[in-house]
A = this chain, B = another copy of it.
């Protein structure tokens, strides 16, 4: 197996792009990553997109986007795994280089969510749950998250501690050029926002936005930022089937596999991007990655330990809550942000001396999870 490195990164500010097509967002970001990598050609493009079928009536985006970047002819593939599409697509792209099938691979996540009705977003998220027994009942993804959130409050924490996940993400987003909401939000503001689904306040949910993020992968050469470990795991689709609805086995299994491949344990992780589409999911992401013991995630994210100078910086550019959550692009933003940190290009967000960074990206209620571990090469 060949080792793989991140050669280039392209990020688009998450916002509402009313005047631009999904191809346009994809192309600008991809060409930025290709330029950053300084490569002359691309062998293959992986398109990560969750819901263009609903939002743009568009399937077959692998061909469409190869065309959009002016490279019809190249190999292409589209990967979808709900909101874990990005992390899963990154894993597939790593395999393409690792196997030797491709030498230069572009993986770009894109989602354009503004120019459809908000209820379509709710529908899309519900489509990542099993339809016949779960979504059919009318429960939304927020509703499912609320049940788990309630359980967490019963067992472990104060509501305000869980809510700090969002407050910290907003704090970290300040000054981030590609963040949708680069401003602070007080705990009072969040805790007094309307309930989306009790006990989840509106300001504990990631918003709707358009975005695209791209990474170019090439074989590793002992310099730059390498892929140290990459893994995907699944779980029962419905939380009703799980022994403990809060266990989040897919996150744990994917993390275990990725750490094992990287030859590390959670203790070696220097910074993390977790999937905080809801505050509770961010907290359970922190625990699932082994960065806090079970039940202690909310307490951890309430402290300065998760800031850039802390023991384990988390969501250093604002996470899903404040950087934004353009579904199929989210997982690529996460990996790209970890890579920016490890190569020392994180600007005001820079975590000093980090060697290992991890990105955790979930789909459905973590019925699928991709965990990607990056490492700063020795040279």
Interface residues of A in 66-88 (CB under 8 A from B): 66-67, 71-82, 84, 88
* Cα separation A71 to B71 with both chains bound (whole Å): 38
Query: In the complex, what's the smallest C-beta–C-beta distance from A1 to chain B, in angstroms?
Result: 4
Selected contact of A77 from candidates B92, B131, B230, B257, CB within 8 Å = B92
Establish whether residues B62 and A88, one from each chain, have CB atoms under 8 Å apart when the complex forms.
Answer: yes
* Cα separation A257 to B253 with both chains bound (whole Å): 37
Establish whether residues A95 and B101, one from each chain, have CB atoms under 8 Å apart when the complex forms.
Answer: yes
Q: How many residues of A contact B (CB 8 A)?
A: 65
* Cα separation A124 to B60 with both chains bound (whole Å): 10
* Cα separation A101 to B257 with both chains bound (whole Å): 11
**Stretch in A47-55, A162-170, A271-279, A312-320 with 4+ CB within 8 Å of B:** A47-55
Question: A58 to chain B: which residues have CB within 8 Å?
Answer: 127, 130-131
**Stretch in A27-35, A211-219, A234-242, A330-338 with 4+ CB within 8 Å of B:** A234-242
A59 and chain B: residue at smallest CB distance? B127
Selected contact of A95 from candidates B81, B96, B123, B132, CB within 8 Å = B96
* Cα separation A235 to B75 with both chains bound (whole Å): 10
**Stretch in A188-196, A348-356, A360-368 with 4+ CB within 8 Å of B:** A360-368
Question: A364 to chain B: which residues have CB within 8 Å?
Answer: 60, 63
Main secondary structure, interface of A, reads: mixed
Establish whether residues B77 and A232, one from each chain, have CB atoms under 8 Å apart when the complex forms.
Answer: yes
Question: A80 to chain B: which residues have CB within 8 Å?
Answer: 59-60, 62, 78, 80
Establish whether residues A237 and B51, one from each chain, have CB atoms under 8 Å apart when the complex forms.
Answer: no
Question: A98 to chain B: which residues have CB within 8 Å?
Answer: 99-101
Q: Taking the complex as formed, is A228 at the interface, i.e. its CB lies under 8 A from any CB of chain B?
A: no
Could you list some 29 contacts between A and B, CB below 8 A? A1-B101, A53-B53, A57-B131, A60-B80, A62-B81, A62-B234, A63-B250, A63-B368, A67-B234, A67-B237, A67-B241, A72-B249, A72-B367, A73-B235, A73-B249, A74-B233, A75-B231, A75-B232, A75-B233, A75-B234, A76-B81, A77-B79, A77-B88, A77-B232, A78-B80, A78-B81, A92-B95, A95-B101, A99-B100
A→B interface (CB under 8 Å): 1, 21, 44, 50-51, 53-54, 56-60, 62-64, 66-67, 71-82, 84, 88, 91-92, 95-96, 98-101, 123-124, 127-132, 135, 230-237, 241, 249-250, 253, 257, 363-364, 367-368
A257 and chain B: residue at smallest CB distance? B75
Beyond A88-B62, A98-B101, A100-B98, is A127–B236 a contact (Cβ under 8 Å)?
A: no
Question: A1 to chain B: which residues have CB within 8 Å?
Answer: 99-101
A97 and chain B: residue at smallest CB distance? B99
* Cα separation A131 to B64 with both chains bound (whole Å): 10
* Cα separation A64 to B91 with both chains bound (whole Å): 19
Query: In the complex, what's the smallest C-beta–C-beta distance from A78 to chain B, in angstroms?
Result: 5
* Cα separation A112 to B159 with both chains bound (whole Å): 44
Establish whether residues B76 and A78, one from each chain, have CB atoms under 8 Å apart when the complex forms.
Answer: no
Query: In the complex, what's the smallest C-beta–C-beta distance from A333 to chain B, in angstroms?
Result: 19
